Structure 1
Amino acid sequence: MKVSNRLTLYIVIGLVAGIIIGSILSPMSGEGWVQWIDQYIFNVVGQLFLSMIFMMVVPVVFISIVLGVVGVGDPKTLGSLGIKTLAFYLATTAIAISIAIIIALVLQPGEGQSELLASSEVEEYRETELEGETGEAINQTFDQTIINIIPTNVIEAMGTANMLQIIAFAIFIGIALIAVKDKVPGLIRLFEEANEVVMWIVLAIMKYFAAIGAFGLVATAFVQAGFGAIQQLGMYFVCVLLALFIHFLFVYGGAIRFLAKRSFIWFIKGFAPAMGVAFSTSSSSAVLPISMETAQKNLGVRKGISSFVQPLGATINMDGTAIMQGVATVFIAQLSGVDLTIMQMITVVIIAVVASIGTAGVPGVGLVMLAMVLTAVGLDPAAIGIIIGIDRLLDMTRTAVNITGDAAISVVLNEQMTRKEEKAETQA
């Protein structure tokens, strides 16, 4: 079962319909009948679809990474692939936030809007989020996160969908299967057969529910946020979208064109179904089964690379989120009348890159990471409350950018490995 162009068209139609209908109903969101439609139709349809694909995330990630490690075969090759993947991810994240800071400094979205700091949203965010679970997540140090990569309870890790711990355990299982490969051919075959089953379920969910699910998720997002919130924060909104577009086009486009030596148009056409689902779900983890299958079937990425690179990227590679953090930091600094120094801007880049690994797996990770960045440069993290109203809309776009980066790196590494193998065959 392959992700078809017709399915892509259906998803796009669902997204567009959701945006239009949600925007039409948004000005009437206080009406009882609109709230009923939003809660019992849009939300139910969207959440059912979201639950179905979340249901498949843990089995897909675990089985795929085990098979990916077994497929690589040589632990040295696996180590080389891991180092390259991590280097690419850290580099693109640093580039992303640098682009965001430059655009925000040039366009100055926060100039002349200091009154926003006195809004009720700021105090509400201070009282609710910063004193709750998000605050506890911010206090988790980087060394604690590194230690927590190794699960002490595998069942608990799977039950809480702790992706870093699941990935670590799957890598250990994969390496062990390589070591005793001749003794356990039946177990390896069992993993391969299980992979066929879970991927069939994923593609069946896509085929029958993706379009209507995307419609419901986007419709409820626009009913609740709409374009009203964008008007007051219009320049901030524009800065984030512009930075996302530049990063998408030039960084990912450049990587596909010059490193993978493939057409970026070919890449976009092939990966469009996953991007559409990412836009509607706002979750890199939720769309992971779909993005992996799309990369493998439509872009020709071998399973051994896709199964390792994309799950890791969904956990630690957050270029779109880094862009939001860069723009938001400069925006809040301008609201506060603070001129960030060169060292403070460098600090923002470093903290955001490190935090992309350090806070992986935390719910609401984008805002958690932003609070860490703001605290590091002496700005009030409660100011995040100003942008909460439109964050859901921007989150959809940056999630699509996040998973596109994972797929782009997968294509680059796949092409590099293919060329290396062809060169070795020629020399032999």
Structure 2
Amino acid sequence: MKKLALHWQIIIGLVLGIIWAILSSKLGWSQFTIGWIAPFGTIFINLLKLIAVPLVLFSIINGVSNIGDPSSLGRMGGKTLLAYLITTILAVSLGLVLVNVIKPGKLIDEQSRIDNRISYELWAGSQNLEIKDGVNYLHDPKFLDRAERISDLSRSELKDATVNEKMNTANQAKEAGPLQPLVDIVPDNIFKSLADNGLMLQVIFFALFFGISLLFIPDEKSKPVEAFIDGVMEVFLKMVALIMKAAPFFVFALLAGVVSKMAGDDIGKVVEIFKGLSWYSLTVMLGLGLMIFVVYPAIFKMFIRVISYFGFFKAMSPAQTLAFSTSSSAATLPVTMECVEDNLGVDKKITSFVLPIGATVNMDGTCLYQAVAVVFLAQLHMIDLTIAQQLTIVLTATLASIGSAAVPSAGLVMLIIVLQSVGLNPAWIGIILPVDRILDMMRTVVNVTGDATVCSLIAKSEGMLNYQEQKEKEVTV
């Protein structure tokens, strides 16, 4: 019998985890699930967290240093990076607008959200983190009984678990100068930044600074460093691959544990969780659909003009189909290059430069999904993120996209980074895991479509787009 593909194994693990959670909720086995199965899900999260920070560090350094000699990049390199940056910011901003308008996390039962909120406050207290919106349900005596049921803490311990002292931190932040956020991005000790999950922007800043500096030193000095960075990158990618081999079991344990913790022995809460997930999925799909069918065509209409709406999709359909089936921008890259060169008429000099960079740094679909996912998870736990915190999501998601490997589910690893950047629990990725695979396939289509759009835009600006000569030819399959 042919071995099942990994993504099918993961989907089976997801389904079994959900079935187990429903059964344990119905039969009163939730404590057994939490005590004996959920810890393996925690191990999975710890393994991903173990890899996430160094993976971002070395990926960004590798991506920036591979751009090449800065003196030879010239006008085209600057335009390429600027165009990718703009489309990424557009995608994240669109995601934030949709999730704030639709509010998918607020469309489930309020009692379930209150329990989620109490769990969040207990977690924040255990991590010595400030409550994001300054509201503390554990201060209210009427919620202490519910908190006792949710946790193993006594009433007195729950009172001690409140985070009064964190409010002082919040007040100090209010008294800081207007440029304090900029100061906070620049680390004074990179090893401290690497050790502290809340200082991810400092790690990204260091990686960008290191990678750019590599471009300005002689080749004989930079090449050994680049080879080392490239080798380390390969090791971390292999670590991801090895972890993913055990992902079906880990995902089963994670889903069973997360759903059991949120629902307890109340099966009605399980229904509410998946009702919320359906609204979350629709929000993400709406955002991805708008990027593919509205934003990118609008860019073509305004700046490229010579390629029709349906002509573009006809030209790119082979690459989009492969992207959907593989969930990998890297695996799709050869077909993307063929479609862009043969069907859109872009010169090979442009595609060989712009598309490989895009497969590394341009993750529009991934960034949009991360923005929606973080705010959805915050809404699910009754956390109102401020504009400043949501701008942090934009910045972190945009910069972390540089370090997002172009392989299936890499966005899930990066989501941990974005959650940590705004002080939320990275284990919450388990809540959205049941629908992640199908959304991963769809956001990869957005990533590839964005690469082709930017590539055509750069070719048009450089006078290397020959679509008029190509449009009568048979589309490459």
Give the TM-score normalised by the residue count of structure 1.
Answer: 0.64
How far apart, CA to CA, are the structure 1 residues paired with 2:205 and 2:369? 13
Shift of 1:155: 0.9
Residue identity opposite 1:214 in structure 2? V
Where do 1:226-305 residues align within 5 Å? 226=263, 229=266, 231=268, 237=273, 240-257=276-293, 259=296, 261=313, 267-271=323-327, 294-297=328-331, 304-305=357-358
| Residue in structure 2 matched with residue 39 of structure 1 by the alignment | 35
Shift of 1:153: 0.8
How far apart, CA to CA, are the structure 1 residues paired with 2:172 and 2:431? 26
Residue identity opposite 1:99 in structure 2? I
2:235 to 176, 197, 214: 197
Residue identity opposite 1:147 in structure 2? V
Where do 1:21-100 residues align within 5 Å? 21-29=20-28, 35=32, 38-40=34-36, 42-73=37-68, 74=73, 76=78, 77-100=80-103
Deviations 1:365-386 (Å, cap 9, x if unpaired)?
4869xxxxxxxxxxxxxxxxxx
Give secondary structure in 2 for the equivalent of 1:244.
helix
| Residue in structure 2 matched with residue 149 of structure 1 by the alignment | 185
How far apart, CA to CA, are the structure 1 residues paired with 2:203 and 2:277? 33
Quick one: structure 1 residues 327 and 9, their matched pair in 2 at CA, closer, same or farther if it must change by over 3 Å?
closer
| Residue in structure 1 matched with residue 119 of structure 2 by the alignment | none
1:178 counterpart = 2:215: yes
| Residue in structure 2 matched with residue 213 of structure 1 by the alignment | 250
1:168 counterpart = 2:171: no
Percent same amino acid at aligned positions? 19
1:188 to 205, 220, 226: 226
Quick one: structure 1 residues 422 and 357, their matched pair in 2 at CA, closer, same or farther if it must change by over 3 Å?
closer
Contact 1:62 1:167 in 2 (8 A): yes
How far apart, CA to CA, are the structure 2 residues paired with 1:139 and 1:357? 24
Deviations 1:336-356 (Å, cap 9, x if unpaired)?
xxxxxxxxxxx9884663353
Shift of 1:10: 0.8
| Residue in structure 2 matched with residue 20 of structure 1 by the alignment | 19
1:224 counterpart = 2:224: no
Shift of 1:157: 1.1
Structure 1, gaps ≥5 residues long: 272-293, 333-346, 369-390
Shift of 1:267: 4.5
Give secondary structure in 2 for the equivalent of 1:179.
coil
| Residue in structure 1 matched with residue 347 of structure 2 by the alignment | none
| Residue in structure 2 matched with residue 6 of structure 1 by the alignment | 5
Shift of 1:18: 1.3
How far apart, CA to CA, are the structure 1 residues paired with 2:202 and 2:252? 33
2:453 to 416, 420, 426: 416
Quick one: structure 1 residues 366 and 60, their matched pair in 2 at CA, closer, same or farther if it must change by over 3 Å?
closer
How far apart, CA to CA, are the structure 2 residues paired with 1:57 and 1:108? 31
Shift of 1:254: 3.3
How far apart, CA to CA, are the structure 1 residues paired with 2:21 and 2:430? 12
2:393 to 356, 377, 392: 356
Residue identity opposite 1:173 in structure 2? F
Deviations 1:292-341 (Å, cap 9, x if unpaired)?
xx443357796634544559977994212324556777xx9xxxxxxxxx
Give secondary structure in 2 for the equivalent of 1:151.
coil
| Residue in structure 1 matched with residue 117 of structure 2 by the alignment | none
Contact 1:244 1:320 in 2 (8 A): yes
| Residue in structure 2 matched with residue 131 of structure 1 by the alignment | 164
1:426 counterpart = 2:443: no
Residue identity opposite 2:371 in structure 1? M
How far apart, CA to CA, are the structure 1 residues paired with 2:171 and 2:438? 24
Quick one: structure 1 residues 10 and 317, their matched pair in 2 at CA, closer, same or farther if it must change by over 3 Å?
closer
Aligned residue pair count:
354
